Amino acid sequence: MSKSKKNIVAIILARGGSKGLPKKNILPINGKPLIVYSIEAAKKSKYVNRVLVSTDDQEIADIALANNAEVPFLRPKKLSNDTATSEVALKHAVEWLRDKENYQTDIIVYLQTTDLFRSKSMIDDCVKVLLKKPEVDSAFMGLEVHKNFWRKEKGKFTRLADDIPYGIARQSREPLYREDTGLALATRSSVILNGDRIGENVHIVPYDQNVDFIDIHTEFERWLSEILIKDGKIIPNK
């Protein structure tokens, strides 16, 4: 991990409470705590200066520290309950660095622990957009899809992006993009301090991979991730 001229900090949010899958963030996936995959991804970046874990749980903090991440504080409980948003937790971390360490961040890289199947280039691909394009507020991974999407509004189903015509070959269809900030999001600190995660001017980095359906929130998804690594030989951060 090399130093960047800008202060680029990866922040991994990992609270202790998880009703659907208890201790989700530190459950073993192929013998490794889930959170470690995100720490390792951040530390492999060519641009990230610091890797910080924001948690309210001492056990998570200990595992993060043992894997060379920083845990400079334990997040207040009021910012770690079921209704607390990622935006609030990110803002708290950026303000803590500013107020307690006099450390001014330029770019924040947000990673979600439950999205472990990142390719090694995803983080740097997002950061590079912000380094090269000062007009862009946020860059994030987006799954490129060619399906039709609908929404129900006031009891009626309407097709989204209905200007994309039916009856043309998949490879000729204009793609839509699913927002996957959990895989990688690079956003300017000013956006975070404003209480947002994504700014108004965005750039989507498209990706297409065969494990795009994995986001670990259940025991089945944890088990399936292990199968994909062990038997499918699909290794995160490669």
The pLDDT assigned to 83 comes to: 80
Domain span including residue 112? 8-141+178-230
The pLDDT assigned to 82 comes to: 80
User: Residue 73 — very low, low, confident or very high, per pLDDT cuts 50/70/90?
Assistant: very high
Q: Does some domain include residue 223?
A: yes
Rounded to the nearest integer, the mean pLDDT of the chain is 93
User: How many Å apart are CA 192 and CA 197, to the nearest integer?
Assistant: 6
Q: Does some domain include residue 84?
A: yes
CATH number at residue 44: 3.90.550.10
Is residue 34's pLDDT more than 90? yes
User: How many Å apart are CA 200 and CA 222, to the nearest integer?
Assistant: 34
User: How many separate domains does the chain show?
Assistant: 1
Q: Does some domain include residue 1?
A: no
The pLDDT assigned to 3 comes to: 55
Residue 50 near residue 113, CB atoms below 8 Å: no
User: How many Å apart are CA 227 and CA 238, to the nearest integer?
Assistant: 17
User: Residue 4 — very low, low, confident or very high, per pLDDT cuts 50/70/90?
Assistant: low
Is residue 165's pLDDT more than 60? yes
Q: Does some domain include residue 3?
A: no
The pLDDT assigned to 58 comes to: 96
Is residue 2's pLDDT more than 60? no
b or e along 120-140 (b: 16 or more beta carbons within 10 Å of the residue's beta carbon)?
Answer: ebbbbbbbbbbbeeeebbbbb
Is residue 6's pLDDT more than 50? yes
Q: Does some domain include residue 170?
A: no
Quote the strand ranges of 41-125, DSSP E. Answer: 50-54, 107-112
Is residue 141's pLDDT more than 60? yes
DSSP β-ladder status, 8-13 and 107-112: parallel
CA distances (Å), origin 181, targets 46, 115, 131, 161, 212: 19, 9, 18, 21, 12
The pLDDT assigned to 1 comes to: 45
Task: Please state, for a pLDDT cut of 90, what percent of the chain lies above it.
Answer: 78
* Higher per-residue confidence, 216 vs 167: 216
**How many helices (H) and strands (E) would you count in the chain?**
6, 10
User: How many Å apart are CA 220 and CA 213, to the nearest integer?
Assistant: 13
Range from 58-62, 145-149, 175-179, 205-209 that averages highest in pLDDT: 58-62
Q: Does some domain include residue 92?
A: yes
User: How many Å apart are CA 89 and CA 56, to the nearest integer?
Assistant: 11
Is residue 23's pLDDT more than 50? yes
pLDDT digits (tens, 9 = 90+) for 170-220: 778 888 999 999 999 999 999 999 999 999 999 999 998 888 889 999 999
Q: Does some domain include residue 28?
A: yes
Q: Does some domain include residue 168?
A: no
Is residue 18's pLDDT more than 80? no
